[in-house]
Structure 1
């Protein structure tokens, strides 16, 4: 009997290139590490930052929504990215999307808030290593120097002609998250592998 959408196991958008990503990591001798962080919970939130919902949602999540453009706030396993003056992306561990969505909706109450589960829309590539910035700079127009795009920063940009959300992780040597639409994930993985050839 064929698997249906309800019974089939989850399959990551990059499952077919996982071995190639791992091989590039091995042959780069630590200069570059490429991996997928599949099934990250992602909730898009839009609201008036001056309304009561912003503080209530912050309390429900255990952190305040970042108000400075292109910044990231972390608390425990949650990461909140500033995407615009009235838009944030809440990222959490795999399988937490329903709980996050419920907590945000309950905290918002009757306030006008848009809460959308976009977990299936994107996958996340992890790019780390001493040459991670150099690799990303091959196809990104942003100034990725640590003074301009240091830890705790994020931006909606293009990488190798694919629209992405780029996040400079805040842990030491944690590198970058590259959030990319699932339909472009294979293309972007191929682009990264090709761009990384000078480091392997």
Structure 2
């Protein structure tokens, strides 16, 4: 079957991201074409309970909570709003599952896969990099794995998800129209880590000059 996805929003920034940051410090990459389906439904309704049963995990009800339902992540975005994120090509299947569970109840299911792309920000200095443009406290005690937040990063509206707190890894969901801007900002903000890493590597290799005799 032919690939119907075309070019990802950050295809033109692939090389930039690949060379941004520094090994062992920060890694940047695009995670393109994941399925993203928006759901609006009354969380207290029977329909919401049926959705949870169909997915294999109840819809999260606490702010910033992320539930895992097999290979689908369910992000809490509001009291009656969620974003379901699944593997590439699974949007139709997710929609069908939701629609069947909702039956004729008042709800909304929309494929928004084309609205946003995802930037993967990982490495020991990932939090430091993100906090250059984001006011959230990203320390694990405040923003642990399995948490999400709608916030601003470098003045761009994003959804931030902590994928791993111990070996820091974050997913940044950004609208396609802002993706190149944000990729450029992250690459520029990470430039100091490449410089720092290079300087450290040189210092490790260069022999220390002996002190002059006194």
Alignment TM-score, normalising by the size of structure 1: 0.92
1:147 pairs, out of 134, 141, 151, with 141
Q: Does residue 48 of the first structure (1) align with residue 38 of the second (2)?
A: no
Question: Runs (4+) of structure 1 moved beyond 3 Å?
Answer: 6-9
Contact 2:126 2:168 in 1 (8 A): no
State the 1:174 CA deviation: 5.7
Equivalents in 2 of 1:151, 1:192: separation in Å?
21
State the 1:172 CA deviation: 5.2
Residue 141 of structure 2 aligns to a residue whose secondary structure is coil
1:126-165 mapped onto 2 (5 Å cutoff): 126-165=120-159
2:9 pairs, out of 8, 13, 21, with 13
Residue 190 of structure 2 aligns to a residue whose secondary structure is helix
Give the RMSD, CA atoms, in angstroms: 1.6
Equivalents in 2 of 1:148, 1:171: separation in Å?
11
1:122-150 CA distance string (max 9 Å, x none): 00000000000000000001111111111
Q: Does residue 59 of the first structure (1) align with residue 53 of the second (2)?
A: yes
Q: Which structure: larger Rg?
A: 2
2:110 pairs, out of 108, 116, 119, with 116
Residue 198 of structure 1 aligns to a residue whose secondary structure is helix
Aligned pair count reads 193
State the 1:178 CA deviation: 0.2
Equivalents in 2 of 1:92, 1:171: separation in Å?
21
Equivalents in 2 of 1:104, 1:8: separation in Å?
24
List alignment gaps of at least 5 residues for structure 2. 195-214
